[in-house]
Amino acid sequence: MPALPPLDLPIVQSPMAGGATTPDLVAAVAGAGALGFVAAGYLSAGQLRDQIAAVRDRTSRPFGVNLFVPWRDTDARTDAYAATLAPDAEKLGVELGTPRWDDDDWAGKLELLLTDPLPVVGLTFGCPAGAVAALRNAGSAVAVTVTTLDEARAAAAAGADALLLQGAEAGAHRGSWTPDAEPVPLRELLDAVKTVTDLPLVAAGGLADRDAVNAVLRAGAWYAQVGTALLRSPESGASPAHKDALVKGETTITRAFTGRRARGLVNEFIRAHESDAIEAYPQVHNLTRPLRAAAAKAGDTDRMALWAGTGHASAQDAPAADIIHALAP
């Protein structure tokens, strides 16, 4: 039976899609004795192949890849929401994107990982039993992101080798794959799930200092997953403006940027558009992609998607390996 690789430290790096996770970050985390994860979200199969090769060039330690399971296609009506975004796009000098559905090159990336297996593959936004079985048959351990007790039970029944428990405190997108799943605080989720399964549990959500990591390990997690804690490292691909913003402010869960609930730092874009935001992913993600890219390039933190967990203020400006060692029990 596939299993997570042995680690020196019980820490897993969050696969932060959209550029924050770089090959340098994954390799630095793996080199420190933790488990690094390539973020395959928004990459083509070819881009993912290149990222995997780049990590392999940098380390011989085991690492994993996380895939976004395609979200269901819906008849999303985005015209009204797009109209509210037009002034922001005009200010940044860009056109809004096309609000289209896509499957994030799911089949191509899955085929890549079946023909060139890695020790671990993570799944976010879903748990297709056929893909779980195929990945396990190829020799990869499969870690499924869950946000509720029911999702945990379903993932275990589908053959998952580990469960990644994403608490309400976690930054960026909610990994939920059941309609209208309400965010559950991490400790509550961990306490519930550990009573129904013996699978290895990875706890994620707001863990940005050693005390927080120790607390979830004492509470029954096998591993602690950290993401925001690494965003200010030099290996992170987060923009300078994003890194600077992490030291202040507060977070909220919003649909304004992507049409799917995600936690980020409160800014003017969220204040202006959250009330009009619609549940339509990835259509809204594709609609706002040019706007978000232009804002990041301009350092416009009022219009950037500043993804962050609740522990963001503890993020340190230090090498990733040093951060991992500082977090380790």
Distances (CA, A) of 160 to 11, 139, 163, 203: 19, 13, 7, 16
Cα–Cα dist 249/267, whole Å: 9
CA 233 – CA 25 distance, rounded (Å):
8
DSSP letter (8 states) at residue 230: G
Write down the pTM of the prediction. 0.96
One digit per residue, the tens of pLDDT, for the chain of length 329 reads 688 999 999 999 999 999 999 999 999 999 999 999 999 999 999 999 999 999 999 999 999 999 999 988 887 889 999 999 999 999 999 999 999 999 999 999 999 999 999 999 999 999 999 999 999 999 999 999 999 999 999 999 999 999 999 999 999 999 999 877 889 999 999 999 999 999 999 999 999 999 999 999 999 999 999 999 999 999 999 999 999 999 989 999 999 999 999 999 999 999 999 999 999 999 999 999 999 999 999 999 999 999 999 999 999 999 999 999 999 99
Task: Report which secondary-structure segment, H or E, holds 201.
Answer: strand 201-204
Is residue 256 helix, strand or coil?
A: coil
DSSP state of 161: S
Structure tokens of 224? 């602690």
Rounded Cα distance between 99 and 85, Å, is 13
- Tokens 């400006």 belong to 317
β-strand pairing of 172-173 with 262-265: antiparallel
